[in-house]
A and B are shown apart, each in its own frame.
Chain A
Amino acid sequence: MNRRRLLTVLGQGTALLPLWGLLGRAAAAPAPTTLKFSELYGRVTVRGAEFSDKLRALQGQQVRMSGFMAPPLKPKLDFFVLTREPMSTCPFCTTAADWPADIVLVIMPPGRELDPTVRGLSVTGRLDSGVRRDAETGFVSLVRLYAEQVSTQA
Chain B
Amino acid sequence: MRQILLTAALLCTGAASAATLKVYPYDGTKVLAGQRFDLRIEAEGVSALKDATVTLDGKAVEGLVRTTTKETSVEWTLRGMSVPTGYHELKVSLQDAAGAAAQTVRWYATPPVTGRAKKVILFIGDGLGWNTVNAAQLIAHPYNPANGMPTGKLAMMSDLSSMASVTTSSFDSALADSANTASSIATGQKILVNALNVYPDNTPDTLDNPRIEPITEILRRTTGAGVGIVSDAFGTDATPAAFAAHTRRRGDYESIANQYFQGAVKPDVLLIGGSRDFIPSTSPGSRRKDATDWIAESQKLGYTFVSTRTELNAASAGKLFGLFNIDNIPSYLDRAQYQRPEMLGDFKDMPFLWDSTKKAVETLEKNPDGFFLMVESGMVDKYEHPLDWQRAVWNVLELDKAVEWAKDYAKKNPDTLVLVTADHAHSISVYGGYDTSKGPGVRSAVGVYEQAGFPTYGDKRDANGLPLPETARTYAVGFAAVPDYCETYLGRPVFLDPTVSNGKTGAEAAFLPNPKICEEGAVQRTGNLPPTANQGVHTADPLPLFAFGAGAENFFGPMDQTDLFFSIARAMGVDATKNR
Whether A and B are associated in the same complex: the answer reads yes
Q: Which of A41, A46, A116, A140 contacts B307 (CB 8 A)?
A: A46
Q: Are A98 and B327 in contact (CB under 8 A)?
A: yes
A72 to B177, CA, bound (A): 25
Q: Cβ of B160 < 8 Å from any Cβ of A? A: no
Nearest to A42 among chain B residues (CB) is B346
A48 & B283 in contact (Cβ 8 Å cutoff): yes
Determine whether B148 belongs to the interface, using a CB cutoff of 8 Å to chain A.
no
Would you give the shortest CB distance from A32 to chain B, in whole angstroms? 23
Q: By the criterion CB–CB under 8 Å, are B281 and A140 in contact?
A: yes
| A85: B residues at CB distance < 8 A | 496-497, 516
B residues less than 8 Å from A91 (CB atoms): 533-534
Q: Name B285's contact: one of A44, A74, A90 (CB within 8 Å).
A: A44
Bound together, the chains give a CA A19 to CA B346 distance in angstroms of 39
Complex Cα spacing A112 to B276, Å: 33
Count B-side interface residues using an 8 Å CB cutoff: 53
Select which of A41, A71, A101 is within 8 A of B501 by beta carbon. Answer: A71
B503 touches A (CB below 8 Å): yes
Interface pair B251/A142, CB less than 8 Å apart: no
Residues of B with C-beta under 8 A to A93: 237, 382, 385
| In the complex, chain B residues whose CB is within 8 Å of the CB of A86 | 497, 500-501, 514-516
Which residue of B178, B275, B276, B504 has the most chain A CB atoms within 10 A of its CB atom? B504
Where chain B touches its partner, the secondary structure class is loop
B251/A88 in contact, CB under 8 A: no
Q: Does the CB pair B503–A118 fall under 8 Å?
A: yes
B511 at the interface (CB under 8 A from A): yes
Question: Bound complex: CA of A138 vs CA of B254, how far in Å?
Answer: 14
Number of residue pairs A-B, CB distance < 8 angstroms: 130
Is B482's beta carbon under 8 Å from chain A? Answer: no
Q: Which of B326, B385, B386 has the most CB of A within 10 A?
A: B326
The answer to whether B194 and A117 have CB atoms under 8 Å apart is no
B501 to chain A, nearest CB (A): 4
How long is the Cα–Cα vector from A142 to B506 in the complex, in angstroms?
A: 28
Main secondary structure of the interface of A (DSSP, over half): loop
Interface size on A, residues (CB 8 A): 44
Residues of B within 8 A of A72 (CB): 501, 503, 505
Are B287 and A140 in contact, CB atoms less than 8 angstroms apart? yes
Q: Most chain-B CB neighbours within 10 Å: which of A46, A96, A131, A142?
A: A46
* A1 is an interface residue with CB less than 8 A from chain B: yes
Contact residues in A for B511 (Cβ distance below 8 Å): 88
Q: Chain A residues near B275: list those with CB within 8 A.
A: 46-48
Please tell me if the beta carbons of B500 and A96 are within 8 angstroms of each other in the complex. no
Tell me if A47 and B279 are in contact (CB < 8 A). Answer: yes
* A interface list, Cβ under 8 A from B: 1, 41, 43-51, 68-75, 85-96, 98, 100-101, 115-118, 130-131, 133, 138, 140, 142
Known: A49-B283, A98-B327. 4 other contacts (CB 8 A): A41-B284, A68-B500, A71-B509, A101-B285
22 contacts between A and B (CB under 8 A): A44-B347, A46-B275, A46-B325, A46-B326, A48-B326, A71-B503, A72-B505, A73-B505, A75-B505, A85-B496, A85-B497, A86-B515, A87-B500, A88-B497, A89-B534, A90-B382, A90-B385, A94-B250, A95-B251, A101-B326, A118-B500, A118-B503
